[in-house]
Amino acid sequence: MPVSWLALPPEPWKNGAGQTRTLAADSAARWRVSIADIDRDGPYSRFPGYDRVSVVLSGQGVELRGESAAMLLLPGEPAGFAGDAAFTSRLLGGPVRVLNLFVLRGAATAHVFVAGGAAAPLAAGGLDGSPRTTRLVLALRAGRLDGKAPGAALAAGEYLVTAAEGDAGGAFLPAARPPPGGISAIVLDIGVAAADGA
């Protein structure tokens, strides 16, 4: 059943410097998906052992700077990096809202697809063998899941967690054609070892 992520209770960041909302998480802490609101410059939380993927949903973006690396988080473009790194964030033009995926290296794998975006799908994590894959679809515009019953319609701001079926690139069909460059959904395929519990 679709859920509005805005209805989820906010939680403090790991470093206490902001708030986030958890959309879904693995009971064994192998993966987690959340949305954070960032309204000021400051330290980015570290998550040793995890690979991270961030997608800016609104705002102009964020610059991350560390001792030996720097990167930009830009609207609609999945950016992957190691959670072990210590970064300080700088907003590029005001507050931003960011989707964050965390996968435990060696225990989970994921692919992030931005429907309507120009960026190629981004892989994170790693896993030996064939995974059992969960799909999370976050609608940024109204639409529905392809191949699902009429009840799988999503309003803007709603998300659904389901078993992955078919290609992630065709998983979401917007109700109306988005403008050029306008993204309609984020699709996350997250896999864990098939013999493990979710």
> What's the mean pLDDT when you consider all of the chain?
89
31 and 111 belong to one structural domain: no
Among 75, 103, 131, residue at a domain's last position? 103
Question: Within 13 Å and on the Cβ side, how many CA atoms surround 5?
Answer: 27
pLDDT of residue 151: 52
What is the DSSP track for 124-141? EEE-SSPEEEEEEEEESS
Domain presence at residue 17:
yes
pLDDT of residue 185: 95
Portion of the chain with pLDDT greater than 70, in percent: 94
* Residue 45 near residue 36 (C-beta atoms within 8 A): no
98 and 15 belong to one structural domain: yes
91 and 44 belong to one structural domain: yes
Q: Number of structural domains, the chain?
A: 2
Provide the whole-model pTM: 0.91
Strand partners, 124: 110
Q: Which domain holds residue 152?
A: 106-193
Q: How far is CA 178 from CA 125, 131, 146, 149, 169, in A?
A: 31, 33, 17, 23, 15
Among 47, 77, 103, residue at a domain's last position? 103
For the segment 7-28, the average pLDDT, to the nearest whole number, is: 88
Domain presence at residue 161:
yes
Domain presence at residue 1:
no
pLDDT in tens, 78-122: 999 999 989 999 999 999 999 999 999 999 999 999 998 877 899
